[in-house]
Amino acid sequence: MMETVALAERYISTLQVFGEVNEPVNRAVEQYLVDRIIERIKLARSKVLEYQAAYDDQDYAAFSRRVQIDRDYCDQVRQANPLWEQDTLEWMYWAEELQTWTQQLNDILSSS
């Protein structure tokens, strides 16, 4: 789907001096998106790393498997942190965010 974007006339006339209008606008939008996505990736990565540090330096998938299959470990986690299930939900959210935004960035960069 192609959207129409309104640009100030002063920008359009200046862009026209340099040639094509759409190309630099598209590059600018792409750079803006890349910058914002990188910010989001950094935030998600920092949150994921906080949870990994709090739960034995393992990633979310390993932690999730371990609490499901290792009853002793699950009991240890429960005793150490009564709110571990809430942490797990947030950790899962941030892990998914990290994966989603990383894929978005890869898609943009691979198509440019």
pTM of the model: 0.83
What is the per-residue pLDDT for 50?
97
CB distance 45 to 39 below 8 Å: no
| Tens digit of each residue's pLDDT, the chain (112 residues) | 778 888 888 888 888 888 888 888 889 999 999 999 999 999 999 999 999 999 999 999 999 999 999 999 999 999 999 999 999 999 999 999 999 999 999 999 998 7
